Amino acid sequence: KGLIGLTTVMVLFAAAWYLTREDHAPAAHQAELGGHALPVKTLVVTPQDVPMMAQYLAQTEASESVTLRARVNGFLIERGFEDGDEVEKDQVLFRIDPEPFEVALRRAEAGLSAAQAQLVRAEQQVRRFGDLAELQQAAANELEQAQESQRIAAASVETQKALIEQAKLDLGYATVRSPISGVIGARLQDTGSYVGPAAEVHLATVRNVDPLYVRYSVSEQDLLRWQRMTAEGLVNEVAVEDLGVEIVLPDGRVHPHPGHIDYVDVEVDPSTGTAVVRATVPNPDHTLRPGQFVHARISGLSRLNAIVVPQAAVLHSPNGTVVYVVDEAGTAQIRPVELGEWAGSDWVVESGLRAGDRVIVDHLMQVRPGAPVETSIEAQSVESSPPVESSEN
């Protein structure tokens, strides 16, 4: 008896719920139950030029970087900077004790004076023996010996001149100047250290960080795709150096100074299947630092006469991607499509749609193939949104 009573209550509750549900069913469900046309919004496909953007993981590096080494041996006696200073080209950074090089210069100058004196004496001897030979008062070999001595003395003069030049160079090398303008890193040798031209003895590194280089890699598939699309007239033709480059910092802020591409490697790295692209970016405030990981956002390309649909209008099925279109009879029909890249919040459709098609953009879960629909037109627009990260990054 108790079981019968419980069953009766459940039946009454189910009936009440069903009646309530029917009284408040949404319009889409009522249309499906009654065979009425389902109200939907549609978008009329209109080809348009769509700005294309690509974003790549990138790394910054100094546009110039010079590691300073001593070109002569000696003790450091002076340092002309503090770690991290901005330095100018030809600014004195280090001084090596110049005294040994000054002594070498004076020695070479004295040697030149002695060699010049010997040359004068040798020239006098040549003239003397030449006169005697004409008078037949000197042997021919004596004149030849005098001439040989003159040539040796002249060579000695040239040798001493070269030694003077070398001594001047060494004395100049005792003053280490910055070869570029930039920011100098931490000193690697202190005053009093003995330094020299050995490869492992570094003094400091100067880096030019304004402008800064930003390097990123582009896959060979992307390179081939853009080449094909340009050749087929699907994208606008633009010189590489005219493409815009925005740098997105790790915290999401955009670097205020846009740059431009100045180099594309002619070779694809066989180990990665990518080619290196380099952009030059102004960095007057030194916001960017060498070695940072950033994102390079590339702009300036447009997809010409592209067909785009909202992402919400696309359905993914086991057989591929599809959209619903409204045919001339006012019924919904499934249309397979091939998708390209994103354009803002829309998809670029490579194939499957043509100008004038009416694409359903809402109530997709209630739409049934062949069912009548009541359409209202929604304006088409390509919204701006962050670009999709390149697949290789």
The arithmetic mean of pLDDT across residues 135-144, rounded, is 67
Contact 303, 52 (CB under 8 A): yes
Closest CA to 104 of 93, 112, 95, 92: 112
In this structure, the strands spanning 320-326 and 332-336 are antiparallel
Other beta carbons less than 10 A from residue 194's beta carbon: 13
Does the domain spanning 71-96+175-202 belong to CATH 3.90.1150.10? no
pLDDT value, residue 317: 85
Nearest to 295 by CA among 179, 390, 230, 167: 390
DSSP letters along 51-92, please? EEEEEEEEEEEEEEEEEE--SS-EEEEEE---TT-EE-TT-E
Mean pLDDT of 231-250: 91
CATH topology of domain 98-173: Helix Hairpins (1.10.287)
Report yes or no on whether pTM surpasses 0.75. Answer: no
Give the residue extent of every domain in the chain: 53-63+211-302, 71-96+175-202, 98-173
pLDDT at 226: 86
pLDDT of residue 26 exceeding 90, the answer is: no
One-letter amino acid for residue 333 of the chain: Q
In this structure, what token pair is assigned to residue 391?
């697949």
Q: 134-138, 145-149, 198-202: which range is least confident on average?
A: 134-138
Lowest-confidence region among 122-136, 264-278, 296-310, 315-329: 122-136
pLDDT of residue 198: 81
Least confident piece of the model among 98-112, 211-225, 364-378: 364-378
> pLDDT tens digits for 169-189?
999 999 999 999 999 999 999
pLDDT score of 131 more than 70: no
Please write the tens of the pLDDT for every residue from 84-114.
Answer: 999 999 999 999 999 999 999 999 999 999 9
CATH code for the domain defined by 53-63+211-302: 2.40.30.170
The mean pLDDT of 62-74, rounded to a whole number, is 96
Q: How far apart are CA 244 and CA 299, in angstroms?
A: 5
What does DSSP say about strands 373-377 and 38-44: parallel, antiparallel, or unpaired? parallel
Q: For residue 1, is pLDDT > 70?
A: no
Whether the per-residue pLDDT at 11 is higher than 80: the answer is no
What number is the average pLDDT over the span 314-329?
Answer: 93
In the block, residue with structure tokens 């004196």: 117
Q: How does the average pLDDT of the chain come out, rounded?
A: 86
Q: What is the pLDDT of residue 137?
A: 59
pLDDT in tens, 284-306: 999 999 999 999 999 998 999 99
